[in-house]
Amino acid sequence: MDADGAWRVGQLRRAAAAALIGTAIEFYDFFLYGTAAALVFGPVFFPELGTVGALLASFSVYAVAFLARPLGAVVFGHFGDRVGRKATLVVSLLLMGLATAAVGVLPGFAVWGWWSPVLLVVLRVCQGVGLGGEWGGAALLIAENAPAGRRGRYGGFLQLGPTTGFVLANGGFLALQLGLDERAFRDWGWRVPFLASLALVAVGLFVRLRLAETPLFRADERRERPPVVEVLREHWRPVLAGGGAITVGYALFYLTTTYALAYATSGLGVASTLVLSMLLVGAVGGGVTVWLGASRSDRWGRLRTLRWATALAAAWSLALFPLLETVRRPLMFLALAGAMVVLGFLLGPLAAFLPELFPTRVRYTGAALTYNLGGVVGGATTPLVATRLTEVYGTAQPAGWYLAGLGVLALGCLRLLPETVGVDLGSVEEGGRRRAPLLGADPTADPAA
C-alpha cells in the first residue's frame, strides 16, 4: 500500500469513529429529554396541569425539537455545503452539548414559575437545531470517504450512534433510579445525565477536530446558489419521498422508547426500572440488526432492505401494545425488544441511502433536510397522537394502528425512490446516475480491501 492509500484508509477509519462518537453524544443529549419527559418533567415543569395534561405538555415540548430540526438542517446544511463538513459538525456538537447541560441546571416550576417551561422550550429548540445539523454531516463524513461497494457497511458505524446514545441515556437514568430514592431522583438526580453531557462533548470535539475534509467536497467547486434553493427547486422529489419513507422508523422508535415508557409506568403500573432494563437489552439487539441491515444493503440493495424492514415495522406495530398490555414480563420484553430489533434493520441502510440521493454540492442540505422532515411527522407527533388515542379509547392499541398506517405510507414513498447501491457519488445528478467503477479504479475505494 502506498502512502496515499494508507492516508485514505486512516481517514476513513477516523471518519467512521468520529461519526459514531459524535452522533452517539448528540443523540444521547436528544434522548435524555424523551426519558426525562416520560418520568419526571411533568411534575417538575408542569405541575398545575394534572397528570395527563402534564404528560401532554412534556411531549409537546419534546415535539418542539423535531420542528426545529429542519431549520437546523437548512442552516447547518448551508454552511456544510459551502464551508465544509468538518467545521459545521464541530459547531452542531457544541450547540447541542451546551443546551443539554443548561437543561440540567434549569430550575423547576416551583422556583421560576412559568418562566421555567418557557426556557425549557428555548433550550429544546437549540437541541433540535443542533441535531438537525448533525446527522447529515456525519453521514457525509462516511459516505464521501467510503468505497462505493461498502458504503452501507461503513454507514452502519454512524447508525450505531443513535443506539449507543440511547443506551447511555437510559442506562444513566436506570443507574440513578436504582441508586436513589424517588424523592432524590425527582429533586436532583435526573439532572446528572444532562450535566454529564459536557464531558462527553469534550471527547467528541477532540475526535472531530482531528479530521480532514472529505475528498469529494474538496473536488466539487460548483456552489453558485444557496444549497437549500437548489434542493427545493431541483431535488424536492427525493426530499419528500425520502422523508415519508423514514417516518415509520421515527414513529416506531419514539412510540417504543418514550411513549411506551410513560404508558407502562403511569398507565399500567409497571416499575420504570423494569421497563428501562427491557429497553436497554432491546437496544443491544437493535444495534446488532443495525449492522446487519447496513451491511446487507450493500448486497441486497438499499430499497429491498428498506422495504422488508418497513413491512416488518408495520406488522410489529400491531402486536406492540397488545403484548405490552398483558403486563406479563416475557411478553412485555418481547414487545419492546422486538420493536428495537425490527427498527435496527430499518435504520441500518439510511446513512448510505440518503446521501446517495443528492449531488455533492447540496448533499449535506439534501440528506439532512430529508432525514429531519421524516422526524417531524414520525417523531414529533407520534407520542402526542398516542397519548390522545389512549385517553379517548382507554387502550394504547389504536396507536399501533396509527403506526401501521405510517408503514403503508412509507412503503408507498419507497416506490418513488431509485435504487442507489454502488452509485458513484460524483455522478449523482437529478437526471441520472452511473455506477462506480470497479473497486480498483474507484477513487474512494478502500486500499486495504
> Which residue from 157, 167, 173 is spatially nearest to 207, judged by alpha carbons?
157
pLDDT in tens, 35-70: 888 788 888 888 888 777 887 888 788 778 888 888
The structure's pTM equals 0.80
In which region does residue 56 sit, left (phi positive, over 0), alpha (psi from -120 to 50) or beta (all else)? alpha
Query: Measured on CA atoms in the order 411, 415, 416, 421, is the torsion positive or negative?
Result: positive
User: What does the mean pLDDT of the chain come to?
Assistant: 83
Domain locations in the chain as residue ranges: 8-209+229-423
Per-residue confidence at 6, pLDDT binned at 50, 70, 90?
low
Q: Give pLDDT, residue 201.
A: 84
pLDDT in tens, 327-357: 999 999 999 999 999 999 999 999 999 999 9
Percent of the chain at pLDDT above 90? Answer: 31
If one compares 415 and 432, the residue with the highest pLDDT of the two is 415
The whole-angstrom distance between residue 359's C-alpha and the CA centroid of its chain comes to: 23
Listing DSSP states for 389-419 in one string gives HHHHHSSSHHHHHHHHHHHHHHHHHHTTS--
Q: Give pLDDT, residue 213.
A: 66
Q: Which residue has the cell 425512490?
A: 417
Could you give the 3-state DSSP secondary structure of residue 429?
A: strand
pLDDT in tens, 227-241: 888 888 888 999 999
Per-residue confidence at 380, pLDDT binned at 50, 70, 90?
confident
Fold of 8-209+229-423: Growth Hormone; Chain: A; (1.20.1250)
pLDDT in tens, 385-407: 888 899 889 898 999 999 999 99
- CB crowding 215-243: b at 16 or more within 10 Å, else e: ebbeebeeeeebbbebbbebbeebbebbb
Could you give the 3-state DSSP secondary structure of residue 90?
A: helix
